[in-house]
């Protein structure tokens, strides 16, 4: 009679071997799954180890929070009312609380994909190399699909269970991170409107790139700039990127050769790289600063692969890949966009 304990141990070793093999190859394939989208590469992977204006962009938009039932972050939406001049050295200072600091907050959004290999596939792919190749393909497919889904939601509203799109955060006269621009005058991007424009009147509308594109880019850039603070990267669509490239004289087409050699086509505007990204919505261009715009990831759930388990009703081994995160903005004044761009 067979020993049930021995059978269970043998099957556990099989799952352990799968997990060991997957973990050995996952680092090798991880970054490559973000290389088709500059935005994803800047958040989750490597942007060719290049840096622009002294600011590295690989992973620049991502930070990690350890624990917490939601995401919270402090923003300062007013001036400290205790600041004053004194009539002399013995004048009294104001000690009243200055309640201008607010907490923005956002819920965690939960993403998942699975690496699934059937028992039949494991039997047919005998040998270390065959099993490694099978797991590499399945892991690559799962990570790439999960990254694509998150990338789509970065620029388009994926509904209540998806992360907050950048278009919502880089905006005006709306609510972002549960703070309303109508309530806090400093809580809005400036678009192509003059500084101090009322929230309801801020415009992001451009038009014909040939007629006004460069002028609107200058305006949007300056609207997201204060002193040494300026956009660090610009993302746009492939057509708008082509409009921009076509507007430049040959001697003006400066590009970062490190990025170009790695496969990303890239020009610069002022000090920022301009990247075409298929994820960006039609006619849009974003002026982004990673110091004040983040994808916050829950520690332990950053494309984290869980152990293989046996599927209950199928002859298969399954490992779940978890991602729990959301986009947040720390200061909307230092992000900007223009939209409805045409030829």
pLDDT by residue (tens digit) across 70-95? 999 998 887 787 888 999 999 999 88
Strand ranges (E), the chain: 51-52, 55-56, 62-65, 71-76, 101-106, 109-118, 175-176, 179-180, 233-236, 267-269, 272-276, 285-288, 293-305, 309-310, 316-329, 336-338
Percent of the chain beyond pLDDT 70?
87
Instruction: Say which residue, 157 or 135, is predicted with more confidence.
Output: 157
Q: How far apart are CA 152 and CA 253, in angstroms?
A: 29
Query: Around 196, how many Cα atoms within 13 Å sit in the side-chain half-sphere?
Result: 0
Q: Considering only CA atoms, which of 51, 40, 38 is closest in space to residue 232?
A: 51
pTM of the model: 0.87
Give the pLDDT confidence score for residue 136 in this predicted structure: 86
Per-residue pLDDT, 219: 98
**Is the pLDDT reported for residue 281 higher than 90?**
yes
Phi, psi (deg, nearest 5) at residue 230? -155, 160
Specify the pLDDT at position 248: 87
Share of the chain above pLDDT 90, in %: 59
273 vs 175, higher pLDDT: 175
């Amino acid at each position: 009679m067979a020993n049930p304990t021995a059978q269970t141990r043998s099957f556990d070793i099989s799952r352990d071997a799968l997990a060991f093999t997957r973990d050995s190859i996952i680092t090798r394939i991880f970054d490559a799954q973000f290389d088709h989208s500059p935005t994803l590469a800047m958040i989750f992977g490597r942007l060719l180890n290049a840096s622009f204006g002294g600011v590295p962009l690989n992973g620049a938009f991502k930070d990690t929070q350890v624990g917490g039932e939601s995401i919270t972050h402090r923003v300062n939406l007013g001036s400290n009312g205790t600041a004053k001049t004194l009539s002399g050295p013995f004048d009294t200072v104001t000690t009243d609380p200055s309640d201008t600091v607010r907490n923005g907050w956002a819920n965690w959004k939960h993403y998942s994909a699975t690496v699934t290999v059937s028992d039949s596939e494991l039997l047919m792919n005998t040998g270390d190399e065959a099993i490694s190749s099978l797991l590499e393909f399945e892991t690559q497919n799962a990570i790439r699909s999960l990254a694509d889904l998150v990338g789509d939601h970065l620029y388009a509203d994926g509904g209540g269970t998806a992360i907050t799109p950048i278009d919502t955060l880089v905006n005006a006269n709306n609510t972002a991170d549960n703070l309303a621009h109508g309530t806090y005058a400093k809580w809005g991007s400036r678009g192509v409107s003059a500084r101090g424009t009322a929230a309801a009147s801020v415009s992001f509308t451009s038009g014909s790139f040939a007629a006004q594109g460069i002028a609107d880019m200058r305006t949007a850039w300056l609207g997201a700039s204060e002193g040494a603070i300026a956009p660090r990267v610009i993302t746009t669509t492939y057509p708008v990127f082509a409009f921009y490239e076509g507007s430049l004289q040959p001697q003006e087409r400066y590009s970062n050769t490190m990025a170009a050699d790695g496969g990303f086509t890239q020009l610069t505007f002022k000090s920022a790289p301009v990247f075409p990204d298929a994820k960006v919505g039609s006619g849009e261009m974003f002026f982004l600063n990673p110091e004040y715009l983040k994808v916050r990831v829950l520690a332990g759930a950053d494309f984290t692969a869980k152990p293989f388990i046996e599927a209950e009703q199928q002859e298969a081994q399954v490992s779940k890949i978890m991602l729990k995160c959301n986009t947040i903005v720390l200061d909307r004044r230092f992000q900007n966009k223009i939209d409805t761009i045409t030829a």
